[in-house]
Homo-oligomer: A and B are copies of this chain.
Amino acid sequence: MYRTQTCGELRIADAGRETTLCGWVQHNRDMGGMTFIDLRDRYGITQLVFNMSENEALCRQAREAGREFVLQVKGTVAERSNKNPKISTGDVEVIVRELTVLNPSKNPPFTIEDESDGGEDLRMQYRYLDIRRNPVRQNIMFRHRLAQETRRYLDGQDFVEVETPVLIKSTPEGARDFVVPSRMNPGEFYALPQSPQTFKQLLMVAGLDKYYQVVKCFRDEDLRADRQPEFTQVDCELSFVDRDDVLQTFEGLVKHLFQAVKDTRLGDMPRLPYDEAMKLYGTDKPDTRFEMIIADLKDTVQGNGFRVFDEAGAVLAIVAPGCAEYTRKTLDELTDFVKKPQIGASGLVYLKCNADGTLKSSVDKFYDAGNLEKWKAATGAADGDLVLVLAGETVKTRKAMSALRLEMGRRCNLLDGDAFSALWVVDFPLFEKDEESGRLYAMHHPFTSPRQEDIPLLDSDPLSARANAYDMVINGVEVGGGSIRIHDRGLQQKMFDALGFTPEEAGRQFGFLMHAFEYGAPPHGGIAFGFDRLCSVFNHEESIRDFIAFPKNNAGRDVMIDAPSGISDDQLKELRLSLRGE
């Protein structure tokens, strides 16, 4: 046994007790007559004391222990004269009698402190040292707790966790599949799952009734800050349920998680139809921590000879409270912001509702005071507020306005850093149209059920048909989504017809699932949560990478182990593969 206590365990009541501790040297302070070492492990920090006058040899040995050396010490717990109230062990120290260096350490390439001096690249390369820092370790332990509580809730609701295969079948539409050559079946490949969608539906056909899995999924695509080639889903499916059953169950899950790991009571989640979300917030992932809903100014502003507005499909406005006094410079910044390529607006119109009741817009040439009063009324702006207006093609303008709304939320300090606001977005469109080919595509996947009352629209007006699909959105982040599936073969056929699938195409792409559905598929539906993202949203963090022990960078590389990498020609030969040139 290497230790009798951990470095986070000793308290004032232990004074006088013999102890053996192990850990890493956090700080080593040579004060002349005394040497103090802060010894750190996962559980905390304990101060060690060495006294020149009592044991010179031991004290000199202690001075040699550099940062991150691994030590084992034996000694006596004593009350500290100057206590440290910031740490749980701050009332005591250990008077060391015996010191063993279990392992020395080279000087680490960055400081192992809450605020490190190491840049991101360096810390990723030495991730095993980065994890020694409190914030990173706490994220990893948070993830563990969140997974524990997820399982506890679902287990308690009679869900069965089932491991579905990782080596599955590559499908023709699986353009973003990672594939795995099979040595035993030359020329053939497995694919890694982008989600266990098919298998969880098969488990419903199998009568498992309630399934979940905390499961790795894979997607070989260009990466952004919040994407990883491997990511974790909380994947769930239930039989004999309608939409309300699913929403209630998983609203319950997320409320449980907030209660258990954040001690936060989350309110009931409103259900916002997709159309409403787009109208009010310009996005299907609204951040509802603040109001600032979008007003439709089109009818108010058109017909006054201002071509930008007159020719626009949409004229949208938000009110920034108390911002009427923004300077020219600030307004120029906002104009630059909306014109950024990723935002995509062509310009920004403003209306200052001054505190003295006067109005001043950037388009006074076209609109007189009477016109502008109508703007003010239509947006509900008060004296002192700033109205910001974007105009153009509807989809683009909504997207830009959604970004501007978030920007103004930040600038106006409306985004409470500690707040959580969750909602369901429901009634997504069933189809989207590819503008080039004119062909319809399933917005989720072809097994997503339409809303019952919209089934006739499949024939008459498919683009108006709504799906029985739902997303959970927290603080403007989509944390999960799912749908009720089609279990009726006639309806499935209608769906394939609308998507322009021939029976052959449908069979080739979805054959074995359709086959399984012939043997008594129950009504079923489910949801999948992005677990990495759930972790980051719970902690008000932007990046999921902070919650992954060994993440990959934007090029899909693990810089610590240097993967991916070349493999030997022998290995390629055995797989019956060769590399092509450019």
Contact = CB atoms under 8 A, between A and B. Distances in A.
A333 interface: no
A522 B148 contact: no
A34 interface: no
A552 interface: yes
B183 A220 contact: yes
A131 B556 contact: no
A399 interface: no
Interface string A559-580: 0111111111001010111111
The binding surface of chain A is classed by DSSP as loop
Contacts of A552: 165, 167
A271 B554 CA distance: 49
Nearest to A66: B520
B170 A203 contact: no
Interface in A128-183: 128-132, 137, 140-141, 143-144, 147-148, 151, 155, 160-170, 172, 175, 177-183
Chain A contact-residue range equals: 35 or more
Contact of A187 (B2, B24, B557, B566): B566
Interface in A195-227: 198-199, 202-203, 205-210, 216, 218, 220, 222-223
Given A519-B68, A549-B164, A185 B564 contact: yes
A550 interface: yes
A25 to B, nearest CB: 8
Contacts of A232: 163
Number of copies: 2
A60 to B, nearest CB: 21
Interface in A103-148: 103-106, 108, 126-132, 137, 140-141, 143-144, 147-148
A518 B220 contact: no
B563 A207 contact: no
Given A188-B566, A566-B188, A128 B519 contact: yes
Contact of A560 (B181, B216, B512): B512
24 contacts: A69-B520, A102-B487, A102-B522, A104-B520, A106-B519, A126-B519, A128-B202, A128-B519, A140-B162, A148-B155, A163-B549, A165-B552, A167-B230, A168-B561, A169-B561, A178-B181, A185-B564, A189-B566, A199-B549, A576-B579, A576-B580, A577-B578, A577-B579, A578-B579
**3 closest Cβ pairs, A-B complex:** A105-B520, A131-B206, A169-B563
Interface of A: 1-3, 6, 22, 24, 40-43, 68-70, 72, 102-106, 108, 126-132, 137, 140-141, 143-144, 147-148, 151, 155, 160-170, 172, 175, 177-185, 187-192, 198-199, 202-203, 205-210, 216, 218, 220, 222-223, 229-230, 232, 239-242, 244-245, 487-488, 512, 516, 518-523, 548-550, 552, 555-558, 560-568, 571, 573, 575-582
Given A165-B552, A189-B564, 13 more contacts: A6-B209, A70-B520, A103-B523, A163-B549, A167-B563, A179-B567, A180-B192, A183-B220, A184-B556, A185-B555, A185-B557, A187-B579, A199-B550
